[in-house]
Structure 1
């Protein structure tokens, strides 16, 4: 049973709804420990001075911000705490916008919001109102001494909250090199084939269709090694080369897809 990571309230206008915040995502990342090869002893990392290599105890460690190479401004714990954002236990809604106006690049981490006891009616009112208006709320709040902006939106029976990056955290595309210019329009024949290829690969999004193949293979290998099986070397994956003839590659891709797709399905798509 998941546990709330934060509790507070949503405020919009004069309406205040006490809520609980739950993680909506459980990352399944594989973690490895460092061991000594000879006997499997666990390796512990120490905090050492870069100048003389001596170990530094926790009470002698302070925080410093590098302002130039090897030049730091040292800050005490009290000084840092003085400028921490004030935790108000309130998610303050500032605006309502359309979800499609938000570039997904801004989304960071997702949570579920659930009503506190006795607040189901007010919670449902906000949920249904947001569904009816097809709007997403933009809010700000403080979590673990860090200030966030967030997108709050309705999903089935729950309200979800996604923390977002601030605008100055997003790298502008103008800083990237070698991007094609807007005037660089594709050849019309190539574009037509590319659109057909996209249409042939189009379907409804089904998240359960996709799997973390690396994690599954790694866990399988770990299980087999734990049982004493010998692991053989896997063949190296083929590396894709540069496309020399774009039109030929597009046509070959489309032809390969047509061979995989049953004729009945192709007729349905063509009719549509």
Structure 2
């Protein structure tokens, strides 16, 4: 069982729900070490003070906040623990919104909420009320030395909290939009929709795998002598600039139909 990251309470009006917080995700990737290629030795770094030149153990490193005029303020662990912040140990529900109303770009990290002790009954109450109302709760919570906005939603038998980025942390992406004078014709849109329809199916996450990680693991196994060297995959090219979008989309629809028919036969 994973270790809880935070203990506190969710404030639901006058109802308090004691909870523990657990990370809902874990990153799985091929990890690398920085090494000396001549002998495989790992590269180590020293933490050296720029003022006195002494090496500083990690356990003695403090957090410093540098002001605009260059002054440095040293913060102790107690400074963070004693912050005059009501959300430090309590998740404050500030409003409810329609599920899906929040721009997914703002979504950050997900956490499981587990009821503690007498919190089980009000936990179930909030979960079922959110599900029936088809709403999510907007909350404020302090995690990892910062306060965040977050959403609490009912997912299966759980309440899941998803932290949000603050509005000033979201970049303006208008620079990436194509020129407004570029238009798609009705025929092109209709053909593109046909292609979308051909590839529309219920989302089954287990049907997808991390091909990049699998390929790297094959390369590592080959270098260890545990497997033959993998063959390099041929990159698919689009054949240059597409002039006739409708013709290209029509060919894409036909290819999608064939893939679906083949998958049905083998499945």
TM bin (shorter chain):
0.7 to 0.9
- Structure 2 runs not aligned, ≥5 long: none
Structure 1 residue aligned with 2:16: 16
1:114 equivalent in structure 2: 114
Aligned to 2:198: 200
Structure-2 residue corresponding to 1:163? 163
The offset of 1:172, in angstroms, is 2.1
Change (3 A) 1:34 1:93: same
What residue in structure 2 maps to residue 253 of structure 1?
252
Point out where structure 1 has 5 or more consecutive residues left out of the alignment: 266-272
Residues 158-189 of structure 1 show CA distances to partners (whole Å, capped at 9, x for unaligned) of 00000000111111233x145342x6542111
Structure 1 residues 189 and 73, CA gap change in structure 2 (3 angstroms) = farther
Separation of aligned partners in 1, 2:63 and 2:205: 45
User: Aligned residue for 1:44?
Assistant: 44
SS at match of 1:243: coil
* Matches for 1:149-228 after TM superposition, within 5 Å: 149-174=149-174, 176-181=175-180, 184-228=182-226
Question: Does the 8 Å contact 2:9/2:18 carry over to 1?
Answer: yes
Name the structure 2 match of 1:33: 33
> Cα deviation per residue 1:50-83 (whole Å; 9 max; x = unaligned)?
89xx67546798746585xxx84533226x9479
CA distance, structure 2, for counterparts of residue 62 and residue 110 of structure 1: 26
Report the alpha carbon displacement of residue 259 of structure 1 after superposing the two structures with TM: 2.8
Aligned partners of 1:12 and 1:94 also within 8 Å: no
Normalised by the size of structure 1, how large is the TM-score?
Answer: 0.82
SS of 1:11's equivalent? strand
CA distance in 1, matches of 2:38, 2:261: 57
- Distance in 1 (alpha carbons) for counterparts of 2:241 and 2:65: 46
**Cα 1:180/1:262, change in 2 over 3 Å:** same
Structure 1's 19 and 32: CA in aligned 2 closer, same or farther, altered over 3 A?
same
Instruction: Decide whether the 8 Å contact of 1:85 with 1:142 is kept in 2.
Output: no
Asked if the contact 1:10–1:17 (Cα under 8 Å) also holds between the matched residues in 2, the reply is yes
Q: Kindly report which structure 2 residues correspond to 1:40-189, keeping only aligned pairs within 5 A, or say none.
A: 40-47=40-47, 57=56, 63=64, 65=66, 72-77=70-75, 81=79, 86=85, 88-174=88-174, 176-181=175-180, 184-189=182-187
What is the aligned partner in structure 2 of residue 268 from structure 1? Answer: none
Give the Å deviation of 1:214. 0.9
Distance in 1 between residues matched to 2:44 and 2:99, nearest whole Å: 46
Paired positions, count: 258
RMSD between aligned residues? 3.1
Distance 1:55 1:215, change over 3 A: farther
Give the whole-Å Cα distance in 2 for the aligned partners of 1:85 and 1:236. 59
Distance 1:125 1:248 in 2: 55
CA contact (8 A) 1:113 1:159 kept: yes
Whole-Å separation in 1 of the counterparts to 2:153 and 2:213: 31
